[in-house]
Each structure stands twice: as structure tokens, then as C-alpha cells.
Amino acid sequence: MLLALSAVLTGCSGAGAPERPVESPVARGSAPEQIATPPSPTAPAVSPVAQRLIPARGKYFGVSTLKTPWSPQETDNVAQRAGGRPNLLEYFAKWTEDYRPEAVDATYQQGAVPLLTWEPWGSVAAGTEQPQYALAEISNGRHDAYIRRFAHHVKAHGRPVILRFAHEMNGTWFPWAERRNGNSAGEYVEAWRHVHDIFTEVGVRNVAWQWSPNILRTVEKVRLQPLYPGDRYVDIIGLSGYSKHETRAADVFEPALNEIQAFTGRPVLIAETGARPGDDKALWIADFFTWLRGRPDVIGFVWFERNIEQGGKQDWRFAETAETQNAFRGGLAGLELADAPSGEPMASG
């Protein structure tokens, strides 16, 4: 599929911690504010695999649940509640896990595209201070054997994957943040490029790279451009953004997207979203779809369809109540969904 999008971009928080305390934005490793420059009109094209995965028309309706993509029944249940079938499934892998081709196969068998969030840490329980996963440790080669093995397995499998690496880097809740774990300014981009370069050396052709910051709420003074690896290293922009107290989707997403549009014209796939329980949840869901239909640069979204017992810090599910479910069904009914590609393997390099 070829991309036919406007390069104009505008407008939550992650699976690990959708709500974060406000912390001082000027802390260890914070980069100084920079004046953003407009995207270059000669920016490199997205990779061939991204051209296949970025829809020419329609949007991605993605979900992350406790059991996707492993349980087709769970995907069926989401489709029944939503009134439309997801065409993208997101799942997570830590750096203690190898690439699992069966997860990608299961996703395509369910008529969806796989979005793998690849997290460079050992465990959630260890928190933000995990020195063996400091950004400098990634760049200096400590994990090269693991990264190379992972890349070889991805290449051997051949099926297209969106790889969302080290997400929400502008926050403070993961050990790959520049304000945690002994990291310093500039080290995030170095680590990203190092990992990407290994995939290039291995000859991986079936990965579309997604760079996915958090929205600006609580981290408003952390600039995004110094954290951006560059268009040579990124195919798709992601964003985590959840409705906490807002009543309009634009209020959640657009502060970050307005900043991002100044330095890249890559298309946007919202990698995590949901809405906090409350009287305005159904209204926000309805407004989200209205906003999404008016954004040709946003090619889709992933709804974090989990409650507290399933890994959410809140009950983010669109199916929390009959009212919120009806709002979601109504919004999705008015959204043209993209045709998911077949998942045929790509030619290896």
C-alpha cells in the first residue's frame, strides 16, 4: 500500500503506568529547549515494509488486551462489543524474551497487523533503576548478542511487524528515560540508532519502526525533538494518550502532535489510548472518533482495552459500561477501517 497523506500533523500514557505523578521537568539528563525546524521536503521515504503497512485509505482499529494476540476468542469478543473487527493487535515483550513468530502468525490469522512494543528492561517489578539496561549500556554493545539474535529471528520469519521500541521515553516511568537510571541527554537517540543499525546490518527488511512518546501532560517542559532519532530511523510516529480529565480528544493529543509536526512529517498511529471512568467518558469517546475522522495524518489507534485487574491503572475499557460501549460502537461505525495486508513474508536482505 502506498501512503497518500497530508504531511500536516497535530495532536497517553503507557501500559506500564497510564497515570504518573507530576515531577520536575528539569532534572538529571534533561536536554535544553531547542527551536524546532520544519520537516525537510527531502525527508527519506518510509521503508518498503512501512509502505505496505501504512494504509492508502481507512484507519487501523487496534486493541491491546491481556490475551491478544494469543486468544482469537478474545479478539472475537472485542469485535462483538465494538461492532467492528480489530485490524491491528498490540502486544509487549521485554528484553528477557526472544522474538516469538507464533504471536505474529496468530495476529495475521486473526486478520490484523502485529504491533510489537519492545521494552528494553528486565521486569516491571525492578522499577526505573535497572543499570544493566541503561541507555549507555545499550549503545556500548552490552546487549548486542541479544539484539542480533532477535533481529535474525525477525528476518528469518519475514512477516511484516510494526516495532515500537522503547516507548514513552519523554516520561519518567521507564529505565530508558533520560532522567532515570543514570542516563544523560542525547543517550536515547544513540541507543535507538545503535539498535536500528544492528537490524540493518543483519538485513532485516520486515520491520516498520515506530517512535512513540507520551503526551505532554505532566512532562510539558520535556522537548521531543532532542529525543527523535530522525526520519532515516523512523517510519511511523506513535503516541500514548489517555483521557484523564479532558472532555476533548484534541486536548489530549494535539499539544504533542503540534510539536512533532515541526520536525517530522511521518504518519501517526496512536499506540495507546483509553478513557478514565467518569461521567464524561462516553462523551470523550464520541469526540475521539470525530477528531480522528478529521485527521488524515493519523492512520489509526490502539485502544487499551484493560481494567485494573488486567494491567491498567484505571478501567480504560470502552466496554466499561453500556453507555461507553454504545459511544464506541457509534464512533467506530462512522470510521472507515483499512484493509489489513495478508502478512506475506518480505524478501530478506
Q: What is the CATH number of the domain that holds 234?
A: 3.20.20.80
Q: Is pLDDT at 8 greater than 70 in this prediction?
A: no
Q: Judge whether 168 counts as a catalytic residue.
A: yes
Query: What local confidence, expressed as pLDDT, does residue 22 receive?
Result: 29
Whether residue 53 is contained in a domain is answered as: yes
Active-site residue, from 187, 272, 305, 320:
272
Read off the pLDDT of residues 27-53 as tens digits, 9 standing for 90 and up.
333 333 333 445 556 789 999 999 999
Whether residue 20 is contained in a domain is answered as: no
The pTM score is 0.89
> Which grid coordinates belong to 7?
504531511
Q: How many whole angstroms separate alpha carbon 216 and alpha carbon 160?
A: 30
Whether residue 14 is contained in a domain is answered as: no
Active-site residue, from 168, 178, 187, 254:
168
Whether residue 38 is contained in a domain is answered as: no
CA dihedral 240, 315, 104, 78 (to 10 degrees): -120
Per-residue burial over 300-334, b if 16 or more Cβ lie within 10 Å, else e, is bbbbbbbbeeebbbbbbbbbbeeebbbbbbebbee
The whole domain housing 308 covers 48-333
Q: Judge whether 272 counts as a catalytic residue.
A: yes
Query: What local confidence, expressed as pLDDT, does residue 13 receive?
Result: 39
Split into its structural domains, the chain has a count of 1
Q: Is pLDDT at 135 greater than 90 in this prediction?
A: yes
Least confident of 6-20, 97-111, 191-205, 247-261: 6-20
Torsion-angle region of 206 (φ positive above 0: left; ψ -120 to 50: alpha; else: beta): alpha
Whether residue 13 is contained in a domain is answered as: no
